[in-house]
Amino acid sequence: MDKLTVRDADVAGKRVFVRVDFNVPLEDGKVTDDSRIRASLPTIRYLLGQGARVILASHLGRPDGKVQDGLRLRPVAERLTMLLGRNVPVTGDALGVGTVDAVKRLRNGEALLLENLRFHAEEEKNDPEFAKQLASYADVYVNDAFGTAHRAHASTVGIAKLLPPYAGFLMEREIAVLSRLLEDPARPFAAIVGGAKVSGKLKVLDNLVNKVDVLVLGGGMANTFLLAQGTSVGKSLAEHDMVDEARRVLAAAEKAGVKVILPIDVVVAKEVTRGTEYKTIPAEKVLASWHIVDIGKETLGRMQDALADARTVFWNGPLGVFEIPSFAHGTKAIARFLASRADDGATVVVGGGDSIAAIQQQGLAERFTHISTGGGASLEFLEGRELPGVAVLQDRPADDTEPTGSKSRGKTEATPAGAGRGGRA
């Protein structure tokens, strides 16, 4: 999958609409995790350096089409201003006379940020008129928001049909790294899939079981697989209506010669709360009134042995109730182990939520090959699904001829290292 990128666009003096994913956590009016902002800096800096007039646009949270002061993008603009070392003002609205005027006043090498797109219900509805209004601000469209690429919204699909659409450096890297997992991974190829439910990851399991050599299952979803093997899980989180599907996945893995790793010992607790009593027991001896909350040491050792010679690893989802520190040991230990595998030259790609939190809390992010900025988008990509926000971008011509309005790839800098969160390509 080879898309035209900002390197191919002639952006000097042009107005460039850049869809970024600045959906970041806020606390007391401050950004508490700026990873997604940093991930788009290479694209923003490149465009500004080329003399473009940059109009940045993002959503924040789920305001459901209504203005919510707690979801305004001013704290994001302040953080971006600090990171860029130049002022990035934020408009009062994504639309309106004031915004049109602000765009007109932009000079070459300057940027502004539109207010939260989702303050308008038309954004998520991919309303043609809303997309047309956004498109009126610019001459070129760039999508650098992989985290929203699985959504067919006005700022990810509608506008891309009205302006020449290009991929930003982050989008390019996400597509390249995830495509390699599906098309040409170094082997052995292992996947670690955790999290709460089988139902939300069934399609990705179906696709991966035909591509990986080792499949490690953890978290609440592993309980459903234990049930499928006839093992009682007590009061643990499990999807009893998905047991047959879990059996089907296990049968498919066996047929494909895939080694499946499930918990053989587990940490159980009387209640899934802080301060509760907990202990480690064999997986087949869970009492009816207890909850499985983490993997045990024997399971961790078995997982590490299975991953020891893997040349490619994809990880999505925690291995226990990660939000409670006492039950986060397994997830954090796997994060440390995978960092060491990456240090040894393995390709280690992480996508989604608490897996990323476990890495960041331990200061390991820079050691991983790639940490995806889109948990849901990365899973849908690995399901083999076409993402609307990716499909609408221009494909590179087979003969690599220059499209109208493009510039030679050789005249611009290569994608900056670490355009994703990891530092290695």
- Of the candidates 103, 138, 142, 125, the residue with the CA atom closest to the CA atom of residue 20: 142
- Of the candidates 209, 201, 206, the residue with the CA atom closest to the CA atom of residue 376: 201
Contact 393, 166 (CB under 8 A): yes
pLDDT, average across residues 130-135? 98
pLDDT, average across residues 116-139? 98
pLDDT averaged over the chain?
A: 92
Q: List, by residue number, the catalytic residues.
A: 36, 197, 353, 376
Show me where the domains of the chain are located. 6-175+395-411, 186-382
Fold (topology level) of 186-382: Rossmann fold (3.40.50)
Contact 192, 313 (CB under 8 A): yes
Which run of H or E residues covers position 224? helix 219-228
Helices (H) and strands (E) in the chain, counts: 15, 16
Report the pLDDT value the prediction gives residue 1, as an integer from 0 to 100.
66
| Residue 350 CB neighbours (<10 A) | 29
pLDDT, one tens digit per residue, over 156-203 is 999 999 999 999 999 999 999 999 999 999 999 999 999 989 998 999
Report the pLDDT value the prediction gives residue 417, as an integer from 0 to 100.
32
Report the pLDDT value the prediction gives residue 354, as an integer from 0 to 100.
78
Q: What is the dihedral of CA 181, 183, 189, 194, to 10 degrees?
A: 40
Residue with tokens 């900056």: 416
Residue with tokens 């940059």: 54
Q: What is the pTM of this model?
A: 0.88
CATH number belonging to the domain at 6-175+395-411, selected among 3.30.565.10, 3.30.230.70, 3.40.50.1260, 3.30.300.30: 3.40.50.1260
Peptide bond connecting 397 to the previous residue in cis, omega within 30 degrees of 0:
no
Residue with tokens 């240090």: 343
CA distance linking residue 339 with residue 92, whole number of Å: 43
CA–CA–CA angle 98, 104, 108 (5° rounding) = 135
Would you say residue 422 has pLDDT above 60? no
Portion of the chain with pLDDT greater than 70, in percent = 93
pLDDT, average across residues 15-38? 95
pLDDT, average across residues 385-407? 77
pLDDT, average across residues 22-37? 93
Report the pLDDT value the prediction gives residue 400, as an integer from 0 to 100.
63
CA distance linking residue 271 with residue 289, whole number of Å: 9
Report the pLDDT value the prediction gives residue 420, as an integer from 0 to 100.
36
pLDDT, one tens digit per residue, over 257-298 is 999 999 999 999 999 999 999 999 999 999 999 999 999 999
Strand 291-295 to 265-269 pairing: antiparallel
Contact partners, residue 308, CB within 8 Å, separation at least 6: none
The larger pLDDT score, comparing residue 417 to residue 59, is at 59
Q: Which amino acid is at 173?
A: R
Q: Cα 257 from chain centroid?
A: 29
CA distance linking residue 314 with residue 30, whole number of Å: 32
Domains 6-175+395-411 and 186-382 share a fold: yes
Report the pLDDT value the prediction gives residue 398, as an integer from 0 to 100.
80
Q: What is the dihedral of CA 263, 267, 270, 271, to 10 degrees?
A: -90
Would you say residue 401 has pLDDT above 90? no
Exposed/middle/buried for 410, CB within 10 Å: 0-12, 13-18, 19+? exposed
The larger pLDDT score, comparing residue 421 to residue 164, is at 164
Contact partners, residue 255, CB within 8 Å, separation at least 6: none
- Of the candidates 26, 22, 14, the residue with the CA atom closest to the CA atom of residue 144: 22
**What secondary structure letter does DSSP report for 280?**
E
pLDDT, one tens digit per residue, over 31-90 is 998 999 999 999 999 999 999 999 999 999 999 999 999 999 999 999 999 999 999 999
Would you say residue 406 has pLDDT above 60? no
Three-state DSSP class for residue 11: coil
Residue with tokens 């954090």: 332
Would you say residue 227 has pLDDT above 90? yes
Would you say residue 353 has pLDDT above 90? no
Confidence label for 425 from pLDDT (cuts 50, 70 and 90) = very low
pLDDT, one tens digit per residue, over 298-349 is 999 999 999 999 999 999 999 999 999 999 999 999 999 999 999 999 999 9
Tokens coding 282: 């064999």
pLDDT, average across residues 108-135? 98
Strand 111-113 to 26-27 pairing: unpaired
- Of the candidates 402, 354, 406, 5, the residue with the CA atom closest to the CA atom of residue 172: 5
Report the pLDDT value the prediction gives residue 299, as an integer from 0 to 100.
98
